[in-house]
Amino acid sequence: METPTLETRTNGQAAAAASHKPFLTAAVLGAGTMGAQIAAHLANAGLQVYLLDIAPKEGGNNNAIVEKLFKAAQKKKPDPFFTKKAAQRIKTGNFDDNFGWVGEVDWVIEAVVERLDIKHSVMARIEETAREDAVISTNTSGIPLREIGQHCSEGFRKRLLGTHFFNPPRYLKLLELIPTEDTDPAVLDRVAWFGRVHLGKGIVVANDVPYFVGNRIGIYGMMGAMDYFIRGEYTIEEIDALTGTLVGRPKSATFRTADVVGLDVMRDVANNLYEKAVDDESRERFKSPPILDQLVENGALGAKTKAGFYRKEGKVIKSINPATGEYEDPKPLNVGDVKAFKAAGDLPARMNALYEDEGRAGNFFRAMTLDLLAYSARRVPEITGSPANVDRAICWGFGWQMGPFETWDALGFERVVADMDAAGIQLPDWVRTMQANGVTQFYRSEKGLRQVYIPAEGAFFNDPSPADEISLAAIKTDTSKELWSNRETGLIDLGDGVALLEFRSKANSLGGSIIEALFEVIDKVENDPNLRGLIIGNEGLHFSVGANLGEVAWALDQGMIDQVGQFVAYFQQAIQRVRYSTKPVVVTVHQRALGGGCEIAMACPNPVAAAESYMGLVELGVGVIPAGTGTMRLAALASNQSVGYDSDLQAFVRKYYENVAMAKVAESARQAQEMGFLAPHAPVVMNAERRFHVARHEVIRLSEQGYMPPVAERIRVLGRSGQAAMQMGVYQFHQGRYISDYDRYLADRLAYVITGGNLTGPQEVTEDYLLELEREVFLSLLGEEKTQARIKHLLETNKPLRN
């Protein structure tokens, strides 16, 4: 008998896209911190958006408030917009003059101030104005949905739900959906599908309770960590050292995260939770501590006021002393050898090492972990019926690598329960029932499928990822799927005649093994009649940080400059194989694709990119120029885009030259397309987990239509006159002291290559001609002491050197 799947999915898996209608237009009511950024992300997804707010009471320009808030959103860092063009898809207005726009859109999102009377008033106006088929949602985080819609008609309540975005909406994956008893399941399903596919969100369906899932658990954990500081048992620095990357959480850990969120926001959330979670046995945890009240009252609100729990004075980052209210220099950590914990291995190994430690680090970690895990269990089924939803909410909303129940499994179910009992920590009945029935884990794998224990059913249920989210890790559990491998790569069968070459090196840096694999695998795919084509991608933190500088530095130390030259030529040939393969090759980039990683994507005729892809040719930062076909490729792009006039060509060359000379990195895939790092026709996938699915369909599409590789065309370059024009711009930067002498020298060498070298005037050249120039200049720069110093400094400190 097969294990059933829950009829009501809670991770955003929806029916096939054909059964859903996307939203094309939206109105966001309220242009504050969240409203403006929600509007921005809807615009990123291609929607036409109306952003409305109240008119000023004093009269004058009725759009004064919304325009001020919208301008503030455009200046935010990190940028809520993919590109400046995305911001142009937002039209601002006010509630007095423009509320009629609400009647034109597919989706209305209410994001006004968290006051029930105001929300009632706005909902009444929406019901009067919105189309009968429009979906209505509220971004409330603390007011029950049933109260917000209580005065609306039954028909209106059927299309009303909560859509709780996490701040900042572009970057945090979690989107909590909160249906009421009246919400039409089809409306919930549509928003879940659209949020996952078109907004790139991880969907968690939450119950209509105070602060839903993510904030309820996450704020509890943060307030618990603060208690140790307030009681004087651990310093701020010690707590952040033990609640950051060491345990699979963001580098900002606890107190830096609070500073980034804003201490006023943190206090408001905690106080609201204390007020509203009246049935929570642990609600005292949410009482705002005196130090938090003091900081807020003194205007020390965190990063936005440059002072919160931390304050930077000169080069020293000081922290607040709760006893004196003064900022003090950081004290040495007294938590044992943190490096030893880091060296324990992967995340489960590090957690177990900490849990078993008998020192101050272990005491803190055990107490914090036992408390949080038990609290998370006590909130099921109040906030959600599935432990998996708790884990997803914390991972997607707070950036943890493992949620509470995943952590519990990693530490050992029985051991954790025994330690909770010994500490007198309360557990819910459903955990005792699990224990009594011999169930000792929250997750298990059955026939290759992940299953999660559902307390209300007392059984495990399948918890698969959506069908269009391909997991390489899951596929690799079947060893027969690996078709070929070497030290740093593997070729995986994705089915339907499509294979994927996975990078497996540290940071997916491109060394000899990966270059060798490109030749080997493309040859294999071209000669296998059962394979349609190839995807190049991976599930690492980043697609690729570029060439393996460690190998280059070692070769230089050994005096093997000739071998480096051979490697560069080999690298170029491998990238050209990607471009000119006789079967389709689709490169799928995500997060950072820098240097050589960017060059692979630039060479690919049909790439696919996750929306959050940060691409750039940053080689000048380490004292060389792009020599993996990147400089040639930009010259070719400029040549193709110009309309025959050399002045036109020079404008395009200058644009791409300046991007490389200034080591600019695109802040989104859409911006990468504008900067020439990504093909303009490349599909941009909002949800990164769908990139392999989209890439596989690209391979199939290209194969079915009868694939032919691109034709190598001649490239028009500017010669010495164009080179002089580029150098003049660099000279002005140098005179303004924006760049060093060596930066200027490097930029001049880049200009030499991208304009065609010593040619006396504009003419057409071959790709091979420019590739030879790339190699020539690259190798000459490797012989420079300042380039070698830059490479050494980056390898030793992971920071660039300006010399």
Assess whether pLDDT exceeds 50 at residue 422.
yes
Q: In sequence order, which ranges of 424-548 are alpha helices (DSSP H)?
A: 429-436, 472-475, 512-527
Q: What is the mean pLDDT of residues 248-259?
A: 96
pLDDT of residue 19: 61
Distances (CA, A) of 624 to 344, 590, 602, 656, 663: 37, 24, 19, 17, 11
Report the alpha-carbon distance of residue 643 to residue 62 in Å, rounded. 46
Residues in CB range of 755: below 8 A, 6 or more apart = 635, 653, 717, 718, 719, 720, 722, 723, 726
Banded model confidence at residue 5, pLDDT cuts 50, 70, 90: very low
Question: Positive or negative CA dihedral for 360, 408, 173, 34?
Answer: negative
pLDDT of residue 448: 77
pLDDT of residue 464: 80
Bridge partner list, 172: none
Assess whether pLDDT exceeds 90 at residue 17.
no
Residue-wise pLDDT tens digits, 46-72: 999 999 999 999 888 999 999 999 999
Banded model confidence at residue 89, pLDDT cuts 50, 70, 90: very high
Assess whether pLDDT exceeds 70 at residue 7.
no
Share of the chain above pLDDT 70, in %: 98
Burial 208-222 (b: 16+ CB within 10 A, else e): bbbbbbbbbbbbbbb
pLDDT of residue 141: 86
**Residue 78 φ/ψ, nearest 5 degrees:** -65, 155
Model's pTM, two decimal places?
Answer: 0.94
3-state secondary structure of 589: strand
Residue-wise pLDDT tens digits, 697-710: 999 999 999 999 99
pLDDT of residue 446: 85
Of the chain, the end-to-end C-alpha distance in Å amounts to: 68
pLDDT of residue 721: 92
Question: Positive or negative CA dihedral for 578, 580, 583, 585?
Answer: positive
Name the nearest CA neighbour of 107 among 201, 203, 200, 190: 190
Calculate the dihedral angle through the C-alpha atoms of 452, 453, 459, 463, rounding to the nearest 10 degrees: -20
Report the alpha-carbon distance of residue 434 to residue 443 in Å, rounded. 12
Structure tokens at 102: 């609400």
Report the alpha-carbon distance of residue 797 to residue 556 in Å, rounded. 19
Beta-strand pair 202-205/482-486: unpaired
pLDDT of residue 142: 82
CB atoms near residue 238 (< 10 Å): 22
Name the nearest CA neighbour of 386 among 444, 279, 466, 461: 461
pLDDT of residue 646: 87
Structure tokens at 137: 């949602």
Structure tokens at 709: 């590789």
**What is the tally of helices (H) and strands (E) in the chain?**
33, 23
Banded model confidence at residue 607, pLDDT cuts 50, 70, 90: very high
Residues in CB range of 370: below 8 A, 6 or more apart = 416, 419, 420, 423, 425
On whether the CB atoms of residues 672 and 632 are closer than 8 A, the answer is no
Structure tokens at 451: 């299953």
On whether the CB atoms of residues 285 and 430 are closer than 8 A, the answer is no
Report the alpha-carbon distance of residue 618 to residue 143 in Å, rounded. 47
Q: What is the mean pLDDT of residues 298-323?
A: 94
On whether the CB atoms of residues 720 and 760 are closer than 8 A, the answer is yes
Average pLDDT across the chain, whole number: 94
Q: What is the mean pLDDT of residues 28-33?
A: 96
Residue 746 DSSP symbol: H
Residue-wise pLDDT tens digits, 191-200: 999 999 999 9
Structure tokens at 26: 């939206």
Report the alpha-carbon distance of residue 545 to residue 596 in Å, rounded. 8
Assess whether pLDDT exceeds 80 at residue 387.
yes
Unique residue bearing structure tokens 């803190």? 364
pLDDT of residue 279: 93
Assess whether pLDDT exceeds 80 at residue 18.
no
Report the alpha-carbon distance of residue 57 to residue 210 in Å, rounded. 32
Task: Report the Cα 562 to chain-centroid distance in Å.
Answer: 40
Q: What is the mean pLDDT of residues 19-31?
A: 93
pLDDT of residue 11: 43
CB atoms near residue 737 (< 10 Å): 7
Report the alpha-carbon distance of residue 29 to residue 116 in Å, rounded. 15
Report the alpha-carbon distance of residue 308 to residue 314 in Å, rounded. 16
Assess whether pLDDT exceeds 60 at residue 434.
yes
Residue-wise pLDDT tens digits, 194-217: 999 999 999 999 999 999 999 999
3-state secondary structure of 277: coil
Beta-strand pair 489-495/498-503: antiparallel
Distances (CA, A) of 652 to 517, 755, 765, 773: 34, 11, 17, 20
Residue-wise pLDDT tens digits, 543-585: 999 999 999 889 988 989 889 999 999 999 999 999 999 999 9
Which of 462-471, 538-547, 607-616, 767-776 bottoms out in mean pLDDT, i.e. has the lowest?
462-471
Residue-wise pLDDT tens digits, 738-768: 899 999 999 999 999 999 999 999 999 999 9
CA atoms within 13 A on the CB side of 419: 19
Assess whether pLDDT exceeds 90 at residue 162.
yes
pLDDT of residue 8: 38
Distances (CA, A) of 756 to 297, 648, 727: 62, 17, 14
Beta-strand pair 90-94/48-53: parallel
Angle at 740 between CA 735 and CA 743, to 5 degrees: 110
**Residue 671 φ/ψ, nearest 5 degrees:** -70, -35
Calculate the dihedral angle through the C-alpha atoms of 689, 690, 695, 696, rounding to the nearest 10 degrees: 110
